[in-house]
Amino acid sequence: MQDANLQELKDARPWYQEIDIGVLQLITVRVNESFNKFFKGAGFPKFKRRHDFKSFSYKPGRIKIKGNKIYLPKIGWMRFYNSRSLPDGFEIKTVTVRQKADGWYVSVRIENKTVPDFPIIPDSEIKTITGCDMGLGKLVYLSDGSSIDNPRFATNKKTKRLMKIRQRRVSRKQKGSKNRSKAQLRVSKLHNRIQQRRESYQWDVANRIVKKADAVTVEDLPVKNMIKRCKPVKSEAGRFLSNGQSAKRGLNRSIADASWYGLTQKLEYLAAKLGKKLYKINPKYTSQTCSKCRQVDKNSRKGEKFICTNCGHIDDANLQAAKNVKTKAIETYGLNIVKKKVRRDSPKPVQTTLFNVGMYERSSDNTLPQKGKRRVGENPEYKQLSLWDI
């Protein structure tokens, strides 16, 4: 219906003639998707002016790329930084142009139907698995006992101070002025730099985790619900009481800065690309279960320490949760995991007592090293002492 009205809109608004017809048609597709989501329970679509659009897309067959130049209909040939050359045999599909704080970016979707899809490994062939527990002190705790640091790109002291200064400068400028736009651009550039650093770090972390084993398992965390505001609390007189939102605000910012959902998406993509699998499990009781006796008790969690109230097992609470995530995935999906083999020629540990320990001293024939040399007597004799000879 909206596509049929495009000709009428172009007659009513002459500046529509300067926009490619494919771009206008894909914008109507966006509107349809927004209303479909609204009818399914999402929020009402927000109407935008032409200056509010930060991206637009071209249909297949409209774009040409030659070296470091790209042809955009109604715009012409433009130079761009070709960060990744297009492989041979691939066809250019949809092309999206996006505006960010530091410039314009082009995303090219390519397709080659002769290239096979990523291999899918069956559950029966998975021999090793790594359990991951997302955290804030450390970004990820792994079931093998290691952990990955959390740089806190947006919530570290230096960045918070710089963001505060730049936002204060925006608020002190007159609304609608060019100086205010320049100050707001500096804030946007800082946000963009934080996002780029976080994305780069998470791709590196995801690569390291996926390469550890045949499969990766994570908790299916409802991150959107975890960073929601606290419900307001009213007294009988109708006044609002303290609901702990001011204290939870810092936790919400830290969770958003860690970007657990974004890291999970990268793990899922890289696992599929490398022929591995990502399993998501229910996070219920993973931090309250003992990995030794499987006892579930919330009193076993003592801050960052885990002390089992049943068997007395002591461990780091987050590493304990990572082990439980791994165990839960094995039980849920029925995986046949190969345990690490122990050397059979290794000596068995023997419990000794004070009287079984041999204590030795040098005899008179065993001379001390001479000056400038580290040579001792050739025939040292040892004498075992008893407990009463010391």
Q: What is the DSSP string of 17-46?
A: GGS-HHHHHHHHHHHHHHHHHHHTT-PPPP
Q: Which pLDDT value is given to residue 46? A: 87
Mean pLDDT of the region 285-303: 90
Q: Which pLDDT value is given to residue 86? A: 87
Could you give the angle at the alpha carbon of 292 between the alpha carbons of 124 and 294, nearest 5°?
Answer: 80
- Asked if pLDDT for residue 95 goes beyond 80, the answer is yes
**Cβ-count burial of 134 within 10 angstroms (0-12 exposed, 13-18 middle, 19+ buried)?**
buried
User: How far is Cα of residue 236 from the mean position of the Cα atoms in its chain?
Assistant: 44
Q: What six digits make up the tokens of 342?
A: 């122990």
- Asked if pLDDT for residue 73 goes beyond 90, the answer is yes
Cα(261)–Cα(280) distance, integer angstroms = 12
| Averaged confidence pLDDT in the chain | 86
The dihedrals phi and psi of 229, each to the nearest 5 degrees, come to -70, 150
Name the 3-class secondary structure at 198: helix
Cα(137)–Cα(194) distance, integer angstroms = 19
Name the 3-class secondary structure at 334: coil
Q: Which pLDDT value is given to residue 343? A: 47
Could you give the angle at the alpha carbon of 118 between the alpha carbons of 116 and 121, nearest 5°?
Answer: 125
Q: How many CB atoms sit inside 10 A of residue 94's CB?
A: 17
- Asked if pLDDT for residue 135 goes beyond 90, the answer is yes
Mean pLDDT of the region 238-246: 88
Is beta strand 147-149 parallel, antiparallel or unpaired with respect to 215-219?
unpaired
- Asked if pLDDT for residue 282 goes beyond 70, the answer is yes
The dihedrals phi and psi of 53, each to the nearest 5 degrees, come to -75, 125
Which one is predicted more confidently, 201 or 19? Answer: 201
Name the 3-class secondary structure at 385: coil
Mean pLDDT of the region 304-319: 90
Share of the chain above pLDDT 90, in %: 57
Mean pLDDT of the region 269-296: 92
Q: Which pLDDT value is given to residue 360? A: 44
Q: Give Cβ neighbours of residue 383 (< 8 Å, ≥ 6 apart).
A: 360, 361, 363
Q: Is 78 left (phi over 0), alpha (psi -120 to 50) or beta?
A: beta
Is beta strand 314-316 parallel, antiparallel or unpaired with respect to 305-307?
antiparallel
